[in-house]
Amino acid sequence: MGETAVPAAPEASPAAGEGISAAHVRRTFGNVVAVDDMGLTAPAGQVTALVGPNGSGKTTLLLVLATLLVPDAGEIRVAGHDPVREPREVRSRIGWMPDAFGTYDTLTPREVLQFVAAAYRLPRDRHAARARELLALVHLEDLADRPVHVLSRGQKQRLGLARALVHDPGVLLLDEPAAGLDPRSRIELRGILRDLAADGRALLVSSHVLAELEEIADRAVFVDGGRTVDEHDLTELRPTQRRPWRLRSLDQESLLSRLDGLGVTVTGQPGPAGVDVMLAGDEEAADLVAALVRDGVRVVECAPAAGTLEAAYLEMTEGRR
């Protein structure tokens, strides 16, 4: 995956329009309630992060949005269409990337993409070119003609993203897209997803890698126990509890001594990365840095030890420990 702009398919599918909206969605499996009362919005032109612990209903909701499960109740629109009453219209407008890649292992990546292009009825004379474009986008040219079963987990994830983009969908549903990717591929994935949103698509991304989500997401939807707990624009997300901040100075012994003098408790063991303290937010951090500098401590770094999204998630799941 690289910095090349995402190539559009010929006769591209309709734009995302209204993106995704869902309200009061419920889905059970016998006596098990997987999704109880879930709702969210994922606007066009933005990346929406779907955040929640294992078993919270994230994948079930994505399967409902992708027309692969029928909900027991709820009002849903994907690109302006109802997945239950208008599944064909929805499928033509979405790109679905599940958390596990599924295809015939004896096919090659090139054959997989050409098969999907045929399934979406792209012009026959464009199948090979479209596969070539997407293989270049996700950096699989060297493996284009090897059987899929020789690909690593991360390489299959990259192929899964290419497969979801074949028909240039207006809405993307991505379940753990960064799973198995190496650090470079993760960085490149972020760039591709941001480019897709900038082109006006709606992206709904579920992942446990919260630091990655914070790098790409515009909004976050928090779910737990099959219910939506909260929705926020990331610019407005502010954890309410104290959380760890990391301080680093040119002289750690002086830093530790002055923190003790100021009555600030250090959490964990100080190390090369710095010293962690519990602070309530930006104002308390700014006041602490000002006090340290006045006392001659040469502070070179002061930042949250965990991202805003991670801190908010930990607050939400505090009672589950």
Q: Which domains does the chain possess? A: 20-236 (3.40.50.300), 243-320 (3.30.70)
The residues, ordered by sequence, that sit 6+ positions from 165 with a Cβ below 8 Å of its Cβ are: 6, 9, 95, 134, 137, 172
Which amino acid is residue 163, in one-letter code?
R
Per-residue model confidence (pLDDT) at position 14? 46
Structure tokens at 47: 């990346």
DSSP-based three-state secondary structure for 284: helix
DSSP 318: G
Residue 260 exposed, middle or buried by CB count within 10 Å (0-12, 13-18, 19+): exposed
Q: What are phi and psi of 143, to 5 degrees?
A: -110, 15
Nearest to 198 by CA among 90, 12, 96, 47: 47
Residues of the chain predicted below pLDDT 70: 1-6, 8-17, 238-241, 306, 316-321
Q: Are 88 and 13 in contact (CB under 8 A)?
A: no
DSSP 98: -
Structure tokens at 204: 């709904």
d(CA 303, CA 198): 29
Residue 90 exposed, middle or buried by CB count within 10 Å (0-12, 13-18, 19+): buried
- Helix (H) or strand (E) segment spanning residue 206: strand 202-206
Q: What are phi and psi of 280, to 5 degrees?
A: -85, -20
Q: Are 234 and 309 in contact (CB under 8 A)?
A: yes
- 218-231 burial, b for 16+ CB within 10 Å, e for fewer? bbbbbbbbbbbbeb
Nearest-5° Cα angle at 317, 48 to 233: 25
Nearest to 260 by CA among 247, 273, 250: 247
Structure tokens at 94: 């979405």
- Helix (H) or strand (E) segment spanning residue 223: strand 219-224
Distances (CA, A) of 314 to 170, 210, 215: 32, 11, 18
d(CA 38, CA 179): 25
